[in-house]
């Protein structure tokens, strides 16, 4: 049986923490669909097309990973693609409460299971929000995002 998983998120922008989870999911499941949330109510640093382009460039070497977008409920995206499993990273206990709620909600409304991969320790402090904040004030982000993403962040903030 072939198992596909969705890795959903905002990815504004993708960090080494996201990539760690995507790569480890790709090694364990047959197909990984990275699902970028389109949230018209929230202005990000990057447009959805820009986020997708950055993600696609970073996962280009992973043959079983593709990048897609979704608006609305994650369970509807999963149902439309025949995906029954969501894969997410857990950085810390602080992530757990909300992630547990979302996992249980997705099970209740869409019969979609969630599996968690614990984020590798070297990436557990990373978030897209912190990357943007540090970059805005001129701090280093090379430990947090790949060179292509760093260049894109710097260009946006210039």
Nearer to ligand PNS, 10 or 119 (CB): 10
Query: From the candidates 2, 42, 94, 140, which is the catalytic residue?
Result: 42
Cα distances (angstroms) measured from residue 151 to each of 1, 35, 59, 102, 120: 41, 23, 17, 33, 24
What's the closest the beta carbon of residue 13 comes to ligand PNS, in angstroms?
11
Residue 132: active-site member: no
Could you tell me which residues are beta bridge partners of residue 66? 33
- Contacts of 80 by beta carbon, 8 Å cutoff, 6+ apart: none
Question: Least distance (Å) from ligand PNS to the CB of residue 105?
Answer: 4
The active-site residue out of 51, 88, 91, 132 is 91
143 is catalytic: no
18 belongs to the catalytic site: yes
Tokens of 83: 């995906």
* Whole-number Å distance between alpha carbons of 35 and 27: 18
Nearer to ligand PNS, 26 or 86 (CB): 86
Interacting residue ranges for ligand PNS, rule: CB under 6 A? 8-10, 37, 73-74, 102, 105-106
Q: Quick one: CA torsion of 91, 93, 99, 103, rounded to 10 degrees?
A: 110
For ligand PNS, which is the closer residue by CB, 63 or 116?
116
Catalytic positions: 18, 42, 91, 128
């Amino acid at each position: 049986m072939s198992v596909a998983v969705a890795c959903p998120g905002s990815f504004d922008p993708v960090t080494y923490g996201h990539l760690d989870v995507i790569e480890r999911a790709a090694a364990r499941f047959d197909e990984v669909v990275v699902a970028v949330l389109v949230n018209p109510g929230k202005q990000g640093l990057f447009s959805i097309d820009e986020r997708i382009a950055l993600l696609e460039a970073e996962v280009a070497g992973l043959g079983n990973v593709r990048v897609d977008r979704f608006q609305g409920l994650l369970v509807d995206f999963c149902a439309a693609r025949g995906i029954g499993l969501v894969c997410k990273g857990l950085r810390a206990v602080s992530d757990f409460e909300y992630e547990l709620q979302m996992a249980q909600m997705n099970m209740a409304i869409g019969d979609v299971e969630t599996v968690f991969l614990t984020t590798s320790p070297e990436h557990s402090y990373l978030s897209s929000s912190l990357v943007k904040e540090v970059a805005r004030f001129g701090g280093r982000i090379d430990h947090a995002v790949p060179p292509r993403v760093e260049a894109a962040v710097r260009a946006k903030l210039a």
